[in-house]
Structure 1
Amino acid sequence: MQQPDVIVVGAGMVGAACAEALSAAGVRVLVIDRDGPAAGTTAAGEGNVLVSDKEPGPELELALASRFEWETVLSRLPARVADVEWETKGGVVVATGDPAPLQAFAAKQRAAGVDARVISAAEAFELEPLLTPRVTAAVHYPDDAQLQPVLAATALLAAVRERGGEVRSGVTALGVRRSASGRVVGLETTDGVIACGAVLNACGPWAGAFSAEAGAPIRVLPRRGVVLVTAPLPPCVRHKVYDADYVGAVGSGDADLQTSTVVESTRAGTMLIGSSRERVGFDSSMRVRVLQELARKAVGLFPFLAEVAVMRSYGGFRPYAPDHLPVIGADPRVPGLWHATGHEGAGIGLAASTGRLVTELFLGLAPHVAAEPFRVDRAAVIEG
């Protein structure tokens, strides 16, 4: 391979999506990861591609664009890896108390362009017959989708390789090499210095640490989440279903444990049960009380789950920016250093448009969504 135009540091979903979009535009790309493709946050994800869980604003605009950009991206994948379990199953958000807050939230989303259909409890039972009878109202989101995140990330990287790019596992980025004028001319790694034209920091929850090593620190913190996985079941939950508390948990900056009920099926028949959010640094220990709370709340939403065996649980760290917006774009302090991180639990869904946006900015093209809200030099993110 010739000297890469861009080295992407991080082979998770966001890094893979950026590399795929850049390579599709003719940019020479090298992807490195200290572990391997999809080995970190991506492997601990549920694969959600959602528009239902975001307040109107820049992140929702990015999510709406990304939901349909995903279909374009998937159409570019090599046929041998194209099946990433893409399911346009839709979502159902339910209220079990006062329905007014959920209905008001849906109204705001509709005004922002989301297909959010307020339905009665009876209509919710038609969509999901096994729901608790305590449901008072619901909102149906036909555009919510799901994919298998590890399959998708590795498929994106396969597309990069097919276009002449390269992916190297087991290589750790240590910092950037800069010219006398301060511009990035290489990446310092455990394999030595690799010459390049630019470096993209797509290190997920470790992006803050790498940014400091690169001489341009940003505030990106880890936020831990845990998922329960049931034994395989016959088809029984048709949509992604969650309670109305989920939206508040997504947008909260509280460091303490927060849980809300999220239940969805996979193609293999297992049920994924979430979700939790907790700022505990990089402590990976599994806490029984978190698992118990997830299970209890899931049974409250779908009572039949009380008789279903939990097969395993897994957890991971999500990259969290203090203002709840991704960090996407060039770093003004170090010419040639770029960032794509801070998506927290929405990285799978936002990855397609993040990759497109990075590519547009890198090539000087008009961005398909407003880039300004995600800029690196905003007060909540930049350090130093």
Structure 2
Amino acid sequence: MRKSSAQFLFLGTMLAAAGYGATFLLSAYYRAHGGSDLDTGTTLGAAMLGTFIGVPLVGWFSGRFDAARLSAIASCAVGCGFLLLAFSTGGTLAVSLTSGVLVGLGWGMFYVGAPMSLSERVTDSDRGFWFTRFGAFQMAGIGGGPLVLNLAVDQAGLSIETTFRLVGFACLVAGLSLWVFSTLAPGAPRSFSLRSWVRPIGVIARSASVRPILMVGFGACVFSGLLTFQSSLVAGTSAKASTFFAVYAITVVAGRLLLARTLASLPQDQLAAGLLVSMTLGVVAMFGVGFHPAFQILSAVLTGIGYGLVYSVIQTWAVNDTEAKYRHAALTWFVLSYFIGVFGFPVIGGWMLVHLGRSAFLGALLVAALSELAILYGGRSKASDGARLTSKTAG
């Protein structure tokens, strides 16, 4: 794939990801309208339902239509969701649910469609490298978007509604950029048949790719919990939410761009284990934010190194550890698992913050991080036992 065409993919990815990153400001949006984190959880719960529509649509129709063009349409849906919030008069339940569904529908389609369009245009040997670069631009939007928007609100004095309008228009530009990418870099030949992604779950469940599919769900809980409710986690302390967004985004983007080749050449199991330990320590560090704001920075760095870099590693596993004809299905299930965590957890997390407090909420994130580590080590243990059994049989 040519770098000139990839630039349009990366630009569209960064702008569309900024649209998802803007969901981290939903908490501030609802507080400005007299709401609470329960309203944030309700909107993101609706977004999760939207992803259950968007992800299967791409899974089924990516054989007929280029996944890049489906991603372009998806970006426009995200933009419409934020424009609906921006032009509403206070976030009624109907508006909140509709905008949530639109954002979830669009982000779900984009999240599986964009990497699928990239995967179809690169070789197996280069997939890890390109996924890492793709992930860098995606994280630049996810982490950098809320940072810029926070600065626009705090420093430039823009209203949260105005920033949501900017997000909406940025997502429309993302859609145009992704459509141009599809035109400049044609993908695989299209077919008139629907791609089955539900039935292959039996094959996928028996393959090594089931591990990363389960792991990404728990990791998404940690990621979503820390970023979606960052403003609530630092409330009453001297730390600022924008600091976490900035440090996290810089850490992830720098790590992915500078270490793409190096990470791909390291033993992947050991690399993933080290990164997940870093993510777990990032959650632990957040417990100390009430004592000193330096713990927030430490948490952002450790989480950025851990979750920010391990995601592309396990995403590559999910694709490469599956038979070629089932890879689109594996990627579809991988993304569905991600969205259960990233949009489903805030429904529970918002309730925990309001009724049980910050410590209980962080405790739930710690359990999710340790669960992901347990799945990794459980899989490594089975692989080692299998290797020893094979060695004895051969002997």
More helix by share: 2
Tell me the TM-score normalized by structure 1: 0.26
Tell me the TM-score normalized by structure 2: 0.25
More strand by share: 1
